[in-house]
Structure 1
Amino acid sequence: MISTRQLRYFVEIAECGSFSAAAERLFVAQSALSRQIKELESHLQTPLFERTSRLPRLTAAGKAFFPRARTLLTELHKASEHATQVGHGQLGTLRLSHSSTVPMSGRLLGAISTYLEHCPGANMDIVKLSSEAQLEELAQGRLDIGLLRLPVLRQREGVQIIPLFNEPLLLAVPPQHPLALDPPPRGIDLADLKQQAFISIPHPQRGGLSYLSAELCMRQGFFPKAARVVSRKTTQLQLIQAGFGIALLPQSMRDIAPANIHFLPLADPDCQSTVALACRQQPTPLVAQFIETFRSAL
C-alpha cells in the first residue's frame, strides 16, 4: 500500500528537482528518501524518475502521477485540518434559539460576535422559541443552545441549565399612563400596581418572565390583574404602546421597544430577572466551545 510518506517524498523530489535538495527540506537522510521512492516504484511496478548522471527527471509515468499525488496530499491536509477543527469545536453550524423576552441585542449580540470572531469556521442558525419548546428541542437533539429566562417549571432529562446573568426588571407603561406623566422619584412600588391591568399573565404550566412577574406581585399580596388583551411574546410591547395595560419587563427589552413606551425603575432592587443558557448534559465540542467563549464574553 502506498503511504503518505512516500507521496510526500515523491512530490518533494519532483518539486525540488533533486534527491539531495528534497532530503534537506524534509530533514531526512538521502538514503532513506531513495529507499521510500524505490518501494513506491515497486508498488506501482514502473519507474517514476530517470536516474541520470545529473538530476533525476520524471518519467512519463512520473509526470502522470505527480499532479494526482500532489492533489491527494492537499486533500489529506484539508481533511486533517477539518477533523481537527470539528474536534476542537471550531467548525460547524450551531443551532441556537432564544425566547421572546431574551432579545438578540446588546450584550448578547456582542458575545455572539466575539464567538464568531474566535471561531471563523462556525456558523449560526438562530430561531425564536418559547422556553418550554427550547427544552423539548434540546432533549430531542434538534437544537444546540437555548437562551431563556428563569424560572423553568419543567426540566427535561439530559438537558442542563446554566445561569448567565441577572438584569433589573422595569415597569413598562403606555405613553399617557399617569405613572409615565408623574413617576415617583424613588421608583415604583409593586404594591401600588394592584389595580393596574397587566398584559402578561403566566400560563399554569410555563415559567419564564410572566411567572416571575406574578410571583413578585404575589409577594406584595396580590395576583396581577389581567388586561383584556394579554400576551407572553414580544407582542406585549405593541399592547403596552396601544394602552391595553402594563408589564414588568427586563431592561434589555428597551432595545427593541417602541420609542414612546416608558420604562420606569422599581423601588425594590431585588426585582431581577435571570437569563440562562440551556444545552445537553454532554455537549458536542462545537457547543462546548460556544459556551466557553460566550460566557467569557458576557
Structure 2
Amino acid sequence: MLSTRQLRYFVEIAECGSFSAAAERLFIAQSALSRQMKAMETRLQTPLFERTARQPRLTAAGHAFLPRARSLLNELSKASEMATQVGNGHLGTLRLSHSSTVPMSGRLLRGVGDYLDSHAGVSMDIVKLSSEEQLEALAEGQLDVGLLRLPVLRQRDGVQVIPLYSERLLLAVPPNHPLAVDNFARGVDLARLKDEAFISIPHPQRGGLSYLSAELCMRQGFFPKAARVVSRKTTQLQLIQAGFGIALLPESMQDIAPPDIHFLQLTDPDCQSTVALACRQRPAPLVQRFLQHFNGTLQELPQAAIF
C-alpha cells in the first residue's frame, strides 16, 4: 500500500524537477527521498522517473500517475479539513425537535435563523415530537436537541433539561364563547372555568402543558372537566375553533392559531409556562456550539420582538 508521504514526495519531485530541490523543500535528506521513491516504484512495479545525468524525467507511467496523485492528496486534505470542522462543531447536520405546544415561531424561529446565519456549514433537520418521544430519542442518540414544555415527569438517563424562558398562559376559547364577550378586556379568573369543558386533559404519566393546566386549576379547587373530544397535540386549536371546549395555551400559540379563536388574559399571575431545551449531558461539539449561540440569542432578543 502506498503511503500519503510517498505520494507527497512523488508530486514534490515532479513539480520541482529534481530530487535535490524536492528534498530541500521537504526538509529531508536526498538519500531518504530517493529510497522512498525506489520503494514506491517497487510497489507499483514500474519506474516513475527516468534518472538522467541532468534531471529526472517522468516516465509514461509517471505522467499518468501524477494527476491522480495530486487528486488523492487534494481529497485527503479536504477530508482532513472536514473532519476538523465536524469535530469542532462548525460543520454537520443538527437534529432538532419541538413539541406541538412549542411552535417554531417568534423567538425560537429568530434564534434558529440567527444560528444558521452565523454557521454556514451547519444544516438543520427539524421534526415535531412529544416531550416523551424527544427524551427517548435523545437517550438513544437519534436526536440532538429537543424543545419542550415543563414539567417533565420522567427523566431519562444521560439527558439534561435546561429551562430557557417563561411565557404567559392565555385562555383560548371558540368563536362566540360568552367569555370572549364578557371578559375580553379585564381578564378571566381560573375559578370561573370550573364548569367549562377542557379539550386538553393530562395523562397520569406525562407532564407538559396539560399537566401544568390541571395543576393550576386544582389550586382553584377543581380538576378540569374533560370535553367530549380531547387532544394534547396541535389539533386542539382546531377543536377549540370547532367549539368542543377551551384550553390554557401559551402566548406563542397565537402565531399558529386560526384567526377566529379568542385568546383571553388570565388574572392569576402564576399562569406561566416554561419552555426548556433538552440534550445529552455530554453533547457533541456541534450541539455545544448551538446551545451557546442559541441561548445567548434568546437572552438578547427584546421582549417586544419575541411574539
Q: For this structure pair, what is the TM-score category when the shorter chain's length is used for normalisation?
A: 0.7 to 0.9
Secondary structure at 1:157 match in 2? coil
Which among 34, 39, 44 is matched to residue 38 of structure 1?
34
Q: State, as a whole percentage, how many aligned pairs show the same letter.
A: 72
Q: For residues 48 and 265 of structure 1, do their structure 2 counterparts lie closer, same or farther at Cα, with a shift above 3 Å needed?
A: farther
Distance (Å, rounded) in 1 between the aligned partners of 2:268 and 2:29: 78
Q: Which residue number corresponds to residue 96 of structure 2? A: 96
My pick for the range that moved more, 11-20 or 242-251, is 11-20
2:168 counterpart residue number:
168
Instruction: Please state whether the residue corresponding to 2:68 is helix, strand or coil.
Output: helix
Task: Look up the SS of the partner of 2:161 in the other structure.
Answer: strand
Contact 1:149/1:209 (8 A) holds in 2:
yes
Deviation at 1:20, TM superposition (A): 8.4
Structure 1 window deviating more from structure 2 (173-182 vs 160-169): it is 173-182
The root-mean-square deviation of aligned C-alpha atoms, in Å, is 2.6
SS of equivalent to 1:297: helix
TM-score (norm 2): 0.84
Alignment of 1:112-127 (within 5 A): 112-127=112-127
**Could you list the runs of 5+ residues in structure 1 that have no partner in the other structure?**
none
CA contact (8 A) 1:89 1:284 kept: yes
Provide TM-score, normalisation by structure 1: 0.87
Residue 270 of structure 1: aligned partner: 270
* CA offsets 1:48-83 (integer angstroms, 9 cap, x no match): 265564x75433232122112101211211220121
Q: Which moved more, 1:178-187 or 1:154-163?
A: 178-187
1:129-278 correspondence runs (5 A): 129-278=129-278
Instruction: Return the alpha-carbon distance in structure 1 between the equivalents of residues 182 and 29 of structure 2.
Output: 88
Superposed displacement of residue 17, structure 1: 5.2
Q: AA paired with 1:233?
A: K
The 1:187/1:85 distance shift into structure 2, 3 A limit, reads same
Deviations 1:116-163 (A, max 9, x none): 333333333322221112222222233222211000111122211111
Alignment check: 8 A CA contact 1:50 1:59 kept: no
Aligned CA distance change for structure 1 residues 198 and 103 (closer, same or farther; 3 Å):
same
TM-aligned CA deviation for residue 91 of structure 1: 3.1
Q: Distance in 2 between matches of 1:33 and 1:60?
A: 27
Shifted more, 124-133 versus 8-17: the winner is 8-17
